Amino acid sequence: MISVTPTTTDAASAAVIHAALDSPQAHDQRALARARAFAEPLLAPECLDTGEPALQHADGVAQILARIGGTAELQACAYLVYAVGYLARPRESIAKAFGESLAEVALETHKLIQLQRQARARAPAPDAGAGGSELDRAQTENVRKMLLAFSRDLRVVLLRLASRLQTLRHYAASKLPPPRALAAESLHVFAPLANRLGIGQLKWELEDLAFRFLEPDTYKTIARLLDEKRVEREAHVEQVRQRLEMALRQLGLQAQVQGRPKHIYSIVKKMRGKGLSFEQVYDLRALRVIVDTVDECYRVLAWVHEHYTPVPEEFDDYIARPKPNGYQSLHTVVRDEQGRAFEIQIRTRAMHEHAEHGVAAHWAYKEAGTKGYAGVSASSSYDAKIAVLRQLLAWQSDLTGLAHGLFDDHIYVFTPQAAIVELPKGATPVDFAYAVHTDLGHRCRGAKVDGQMVPLNTPLSTGQTVEIIAAKEGGPSRDWLNPEAGYLVSHRAKAKVRAWFNALAAQENIARGREQVERLLQREGRTATSLEALAQALGYATPEALFEAVGKEAITLRAIEQQLAPAAVAPAAQPAAPVLKKPRTTTRASNADVLVVGVGALMTTLARCCKPAPPDDIRGFITRGKGVSVHRADCPDFAALAARQPGRVIDVAWAHTPASGPHAPVYAVDVGVQAQDRQGLLRDITEAFAREKINVIGVQTQTVRDMAWMTFTVEVSDASKVARVMAVLSDVPGVIKVWRR
């Protein structure tokens, strides 16, 4: 037997092969293959609503993503997005096979597709000649939905851009016109988005295909004019290209010189924007020079201007002053000896990569490095991510003018992790904190905006990065509810703060009520009474609920005393129930306020626990020796009495409709107010009563931990007036809660 010992070289080669098989790239390629195999049986028999076979569409999307630099993992998402619609439990199925991240991307993208499809279905057919106005209301709503997706994962955006381009390619290949709303959305929403992200390849093709469908006659006219002198034009461009390439080689520059493609939509825009004829458009003849460094760009520019006649007004230095989307290049227009004008673009290879692939090349799937994005030198992917998200917000701003102020009432700011948070205009760092998480809002104590400490009531602006400085524990400040202090704008944040203080007040009410109930039980010698049984007998689920009701005076101690007292046995000669069986006659009560149905000449008394007044819904309870006690239907004391002795309940009604005038009867009603205690609070509340011409006959106030609890006894002829004055009291600064006792 011959033994073979592997050499060091063989071992190293094996290690390299093993590492290659286990590399992230190989893993991604396997994921792509698995994704297609996973989706193929689901998509192969299906067609999309455009008529395109679903699997063919997914293949096309994956190829477009690969062309702009998307990873195999992103290409895999192209198949999973369309598989979602054919799975019973898509999240579980995809997450199990491919991970939670890809499942989330697939579901978000699928949801966005459905939203856009619904909006287009509702949109009216746009006017082909309307230009920017084709971005109608339904399409701008799509923009809002897309922005929501951006804040979660930019891969959703790239998938939608590639999918829309593939859809337009399908219509072009099938020679069928797409719905006009889809073509208009492609031209006025998707193409500008691709431009903002710097993905030139997608931008130009989206524009040309969409324009071809929206204005077919104009498109054919320009295409025909391009074709008429194509041979002459290409011969001239090739002549200049060879001369330039040879000259640059002699200068020692490794330059790539190529003709630049002509995009019909850009030609039409230039003709319309500058009022030019077709022959006057300079970039019909165009070259692109690609070199290694910025210094070489300017050396090429110097040679071109030395050997050709430049057109000064057509020179743009986008290297020194990049476009908002990060595009960098030198643009110049020159004339040759025959006076024929042509455009030359000069850029580095890195600039060219960005111009073609944009965000896909510089951020989404690898570190940004020192190249950065949109003029930002990024030391980490986080910095580049912020730069990209700023481009998305800038794109939204571009569309705002077309959308007639759709976004005027909102701002968009960043978390330190670069997620976008939507807030109402004028929102503060406190609003931001509550939008991120309720607990973060409660513990908010300071804020940094773009790295600088700011007061918590500082209004935020779109594009700022906000970092909250929070305490380990604690709660909100009562000052935040003061509208004059300007801490809160968001209704959601205000509700969270009020809920916190309401919960705090509930705990105080429980403590106060527990003390009163325990004192009552001691006084009555009933300390052994089961609190659970007592609470349930009075209609409360727990003792804490009973204590809270007592603490805020929703139920009186008298009701508890009656519950604790043993039920008296009624004499046989004086049953309460038979009185209800008398002939149904309507008689006026002795005080002429209440009618007792079915009983003649019974005395009535308005209950002091709830103080009813017309037109309150009322109920009667037959007492022993005091006639009929009249309660509001929602009175807790009445509910407890009725539950204990239902046979004593009797129907009652007001004897007259609420009257007006100086001689109208009046009724005493209690109004409770909870407010943040401050100087002048009582004066402001009483002035509010005076403005509503409500007479206050009694006031009780108590202040606990800067919280004022007030009870106002007022005289009204009609209880509906109480509802109006309660609404007025709610607007008094510092008032947290107003209720009818």
Separation CA 716–CA 222 (nearest Å) = 80
Q: Tokens 């100086």, residue?
A: 662
Q: What's the token pair of residue 302?
A: 């110097």
Q: What 3 state SS string does 69-106 have?
A: CCCHHHHHHHHHHHHHHHCCCHHHHHHHHHCHHHHHHH
Of the candidates 193, 191, 192, 117, which has an alpha carbon nearest to the alpha carbon of residue 154?
193
Average pLDDT (324-331) is 85
pLDDT-derived band at 211 (thresholds 50, 70, 90) equals very high
Separation CA 397–CA 207 (nearest Å) = 20
- 712-726 tens-digit pLDDT: 888 888 887 888 888
For residue 403, pLDDT beyond 60:
no
Of the candidates 201, 215, 330, which has an alpha carbon nearest to the alpha carbon of residue 268?
215
Same domain, 293 and 146: no
Separation CA 295–CA 579 (nearest Å) = 108
Same domain, 692 and 731: yes
Print the domain residue range for 650: 581-654
Between 124 and 344, name the one with better pLDDT: 344
Separation CA 8–CA 269 (nearest Å) = 65
Q: Final residue of a domain: which of 182, 199, 216?
A: 199
Q: Final residue of a domain: which of 625, 654, 683?
A: 654
pLDDT at position 171 is: 95
How would you list the strands of the sheet with 618-622, edge to edge? Answer: 604-606, 628-632, 618-622, 649-650
Separation CA 729–CA 725 (nearest Å) = 6
pLDDT at position 3 is: 41
Same domain, 124 and 44: yes
Separation CA 639–CA 654 (nearest Å) = 20
Average pLDDT (268-275) is 80
- What pTM did the predictor assign? 0.50
CB 676 within 8 A of CB 708: yes
For residue 402, pLDDT beyond 70:
no
CA count, 13 A, side-chain hemisphere, 106: 31
Q: Taking the CB of residue 700, how many other CB atoms lie within 10 A of it?
A: 12
Same domain, 632 and 508: no
The helix or strand, by DSSP H or E, that contains position 346, with its residue range, turns out to be strand 341-348
In a domain, 682, yes or no: yes
Same domain, 232 and 346: yes
In a domain, 723, yes or no: yes
- 51-71 tens-digit pLDDT: 999 999 999 999 998 888 788
Q: Final residue of a domain: which of 489, 523, 550?
A: 489
Average pLDDT (502-519) is 86
Give percent of the chain above pLDDT 70.
Answer: 77
Separation CA 701–CA 687 (nearest Å) = 16
In a domain, 252, yes or no: yes
In a domain, 115, yes or no: yes
pLDDT at position 578 is: 31
Secondary structure E strands in 515-666: 586-588, 594-597, 604-606, 618-622, 628-632, 649-650, 652-654
Between 203 and 394, name the one with better pLDDT: 203
Same domain, 46 and 155: yes
pLDDT-derived band at 44 (thresholds 50, 70, 90) equals very high
In a domain, 106, yes or no: yes
pLDDT at position 583 is: 33
| Total structural domains within the chain | 6
- 546-562 tens-digit pLDDT: 888 888 777 888 888 87
Q: What is the CATH number of the domain that holds 725?
A: 3.30.70.260
User: CA of 94: how far to CAs of 25, 35, 76, in Å?
Assistant: 21, 9, 11
CB 356 within 8 A of CB 364: no
In a domain, 167, yes or no: yes
For residue 149, pLDDT beyond 90:
no
CB 365 within 8 A of CB 372: no
475, 477, 482, 484: CA torsion to nearest 10: -130
Separation CA 164–CA 117 (nearest Å) = 12
pLDDT-derived band at 736 (thresholds 50, 70, 90) equals confident
User: CA of 713: how far to CAs of 19, 636, 670, in Å?
Assistant: 84, 19, 4
Q: What is the CATH number of the domain that holds 254?
A: 3.30.460.10
pLDDT at position 377 is: 34
Per-residue b/e over 370-398, b at no fewer than 16 CB within 10 Å? Answer: ebbbbeeebeebebbbbbbbbbbbebbee
For residue 78, pLDDT beyond 60:
yes
273, 277, 280, 283: CA torsion to nearest 10: 60
Report the range of poorest mean pLDDT among 226-235, 322-331, 385-394, 723-732.
385-394
Q: What's the token pair of residue 681?
A: 């609070």
For residue 579, pLDDT beyond 80:
no
For residue 270, pLDDT beyond 70:
yes
Average pLDDT (199-227) is 88
pLDDT at position 474 is: 84
For residue 329, pLDDT beyond 70:
yes
**Residue 671 class from Cβ within 10 Å (0-12 exposed, 13-18 middle, 19+ buried)?**
buried
For residue 112, pLDDT beyond 50:
yes
Query: Which range, 363-372, 402-411, 525-534, has the best average confidence (pLDDT)?
Result: 525-534
Report the range of poorest mean pLDDT among 237-251, 351-365, 483-497, 511-525.
351-365
pLDDT at position 389 is: 58
Same domain, 335 and 231: yes
Separation CA 612–CA 631 (nearest Å) = 6
Separation CA 621–CA 640 (nearest Å) = 11
Q: What is the pLDDT of the chain when averaged over all its residues?
A: 78
CB 39 within 8 A of CB 55: yes
pLDDT at position 115 is: 64
The helix or strand, by DSSP H or E, that contains position 148, with its residue range, turns out to be helix 137-150
CA count, 13 A, side-chain hemisphere, 614: 17
Between 380 and 311, name the one with better pLDDT: 311
Q: Taking the CB of residue 601, how many other CB atoms lie within 10 A of it?
A: 10
Separation CA 99–CA 720 (nearest Å) = 60
Separation CA 241–CA 369 (nearest Å) = 33
CB 94 within 8 A of CB 102: yes
Of the candidates 238, 336, 251, 240, which has an alpha carbon nearest to the alpha carbon of residue 297?
251
Separation CA 385–CA 364 (nearest Å) = 8
For residue 408, pLDDT beyond 60:
no
Average pLDDT (351-380) is 48
The helix or strand, by DSSP H or E, that contains position 269, with its residue range, turns out to be helix 264-274
Same domain, 598 and 649: yes
- 422-457 tens-digit pLDDT: 788 899 999 999 988 899 999 999 999 988 999 999
Q: What is the CATH number of the domain that holds 473?
A: 3.10.20.30
In a domain, 3, yes or no: no
Name, in order, each residue with C-beta under 8 angstroms of 444's C-beta and a sequence gap of 6 or more: 429, 430, 433, 456, 468, 469, 470, 476
Q: What's the token pair of residue 198?
A: 């710097």
Q: What's the token pair of residue 683?
A: 């004066």
- 377-401 tens-digit pLDDT: 333 444 555 555 556 555 555 554 4
Of the candidates 581, 592, 593, 572, which has an alpha carbon nearest to the alpha carbon of residue 650?
581
pLDDT at position 659 is: 55
pLDDT-derived band at 660 (thresholds 50, 70, 90) equals low
Helix axes 200-214, 349-357, angle to 10 degrees: 40
- 687-699 tens-digit pLDDT: 888 888 888 888 8
Report the sign of the C-alpha dihedral through residues 708, 713, 715, 719, in that order: positive
pLDDT at position 390 is: 59
In a domain, 387, yes or no: no
Same domain, 139 and 61: yes
Same domain, 81 and 172: yes
Same domain, 112 and 229: no
Which residues are 316's β-sheet partners?
Answer: 331
**Residue 252 class from Cβ within 10 Å (0-12 exposed, 13-18 middle, 19+ buried)?**
exposed
Same domain, 650 and 675: no
Of the candidates 617, 578, 623, 571, which has an alpha carbon nearest to the alpha carbon of residue 602?
623
Average pLDDT (636-659) is 79
Backbone phi, then psi, for 347, in 5-degree steps? -155, 165
Between 482 and 602, name the one with better pLDDT: 482
Report the sign of the C-alpha dihedral through residues 39, 44, 47, 50, in that order: positive
